[in-house]
Amino acid sequence: MNVFHMYLLPFTYGIVFFIFFHSIALNYFYSSLKRNFKIAYSVTTALIFISSTFNFVSFFLNEEYYIQILDLLLISVVFSMFLLMSVAFNKKYVLPNVIVVSCFLATLIFSVLGLYLIPFFDNVTFSKVIYFLLAFSVFLVFYDLVLGVIKKDQNYINSDVYFGWKQTIVGLFVLFFLFVLKFVYYGFSYNFYGLSFLVIMLSVFYSRANYKFFLKSKLLEENEKFMTLYRTVVDDIIIGKKVIDKLLPNKKTVKGLEFDAYFKPVLLVGGDFFDIIPLSETKFVSYVTDVSGHGVSAGIIVSMMKALISKEVLEKYSDLNFVVKNLNADFNNLVRDTGRYATLFMVFIDKTKKKFSYVSCGHTECIYWSSKVNQFFLLSSTAPVLGLFNRIDVYSSDVDFDENDFLILLSDGVFSITGKDGNSISYDSFINVLSKYISTNISPSELYINVYQEIGNFIEFGQVVDDITIVFIKL
């Protein structure tokens, strides 16, 4: 025996050995596949490994009478492969299986009874007939598979267990070629069995490994869909932010009332919103609202809220109680069954009478600074949250102010920020910051800058979990 033949069998067995234990590991990762397929695959690979091991051991024992056992093992492996394909492609290879089973029984009978020695039907002739039938059965399965692929049979193209038809076709073709060679050039060789077991193992293994490539392809496909959707959503959110920003009041367009504001949604689009609506040169309605939730949905509700408030204030304004009652009814109709609600602080400012009236619907306490007594006052809630009840009782409070007093409208996001040290902003600490800079001579913009410098570290480097709105209005 030449060197090539001596090293070919250990090489083929080594590959079968590696693939077998690799396939055992894959059973853990492919746990989602159908149970009957996993059983068929495990039995097939185990049978191939046992048969290849027997062939490898027989090679070193050099007992050629093991040929009968090897024939039986090879026929069993072919039959197991057909059964695996039946499960994978949901097909019934009746004739090929009948032929293979017949070959197995015939080989078994002839081996047991020793009929290889019959003069008129010698061992070579019998083996040639067996391998001719095996080659024919492989060809039948190969032909059915190729024909099914050409006709785009979904059982082959899209196997339920993602068994690869391409790898199976290649494996069947090579196996058919080996059996034909065995029929034409009959001769005993351990390498023939080694190659046959290797071809079947590679065919089975890589056909199943198609699941891995399928998942990778599917993952890339789904990832591309996700990225497309993500870009679409992000574009929509950016557009939504631009729309919300344009809805905010502009200092240049609101004349007769000085103000500045810090506005930062926790996401690009949030549930906070504020506005200042001029009714005349000396009368204004200002409000800050906080819709539950964040993101695009909250932004949509905020836009609807602005439209409702503008409608109530500009078209029907008579007093705050009337406006807020109508607003609650309209808002409740829009958000019914969504679980959404909103808090609202709305103030009517009359600079001629030097008086403001406010309604707070479950909103966080806003702050009024009186220059006359140099004192801060918290403006508490006077009505229920919007969107929870069809009808609500609304009460307004009136406050007389002096010129150059300040009104600071807030959202609760200001007091939900946690700094690096774990501390958060409280009303006392926020008012302490205000008291450092607030005066009758300071402008809202200057006050905003000074206050922001004090609490900026909290906002920029702290843990922000809610939208933040601070509106500085000089009365």
Sign of CA dihedral 311, 314, 315, 320: positive
Confidence of residue 413 (pLDDT cuts 50, 70, 90): confident
Higher pLDDT, 354 or 202: 354
Please, which residues bridge with residue 177 across strands? none
Is the distance from CB of 252 to CB of 278 less than 8 angstroms? no
- Out of 64-78, 267-281, 356-370, least confident range: 267-281
At 464, the amino acid letter reads: V
At 18, the amino acid letter reads: F
Residue 299 has pLDDT above 70, yes or no: no
Confidence of residue 368 (pLDDT cuts 50, 70, 90): very high
Torsion of CA 426, 430, 431, 435, to 10 degrees: 150
Give the DSSP H/E element, type plus range, for residue 347: strand 342-350
- What is residue 1's predicted lDDT score, i.e. its pLDDT? 47
Q: What is the pTM of this model?
A: 0.53
Is the distance from CB of 324 to CB of 361 less than 8 angstroms? yes
Measure the CA–CA gap between 269 and 127, rounded to whole angstroms: 78
- What is residue 120's predicted lDDT score, i.e. its pLDDT? 46
Residue 214 has pLDDT above 70, yes or no: no
SS3 384: coil
Give the DSSP H/E element, type plus range, for residue 52: helix 35-61
Residue 264 has pLDDT above 50, yes or no: yes
| Percentage above 70 pLDDT, the chain | 75
Alpha carbon of 356 to those of 64, 295, 322, 349, 362: distances in Å? 109, 33, 16, 4, 19
**311's tokens:** 């409608």
Higher pLDDT, 152 or 266: 152
Is the distance from CB of 378 to CB of 427 less than 8 angstroms? yes
Is the distance from CB of 58 to CB of 50 less than 8 angstroms? no
Higher pLDDT, 289 or 117: 289
**355's tokens:** 């008086």
Measure the CA–CA gap between 393 and 67, rounded to whole angstroms: 98
Phi-psi region of 474 (alpha: psi -120 to 50; beta: other; left: phi over 0): beta
Is the distance from CB of 310 to CB of 317 less than 8 angstroms? no
Please, which residues bridge with residue 370 across strands? 375
Domains, in order of start, for the chain? 3-224 (1.20.1070), 249-474 (3.60.40.10)
Measure the CA–CA gap between 175 and 196, rounded to whole angstroms: 7
Name the one residue in this structure whose structure tokens are 């599917």: 218
Name the one residue in this structure whose structure tokens are 């010129």: 403
**Residues ≥6 apart with Cβ < 8 Å to 283:** 348, 349, 350, 351, 352
Measure the CA–CA gap between 119 and 310, rounded to whole angstroms: 109
Measure the CA–CA gap between 224 and 234, rounded to whole angstroms: 15
Quick count: other Cβ atoms within 10 Å of Cβ 129?
14
Sheet of strand 283-291: strand arrangement: 272-278, 283-291, 342-350, 355-361, 397-400
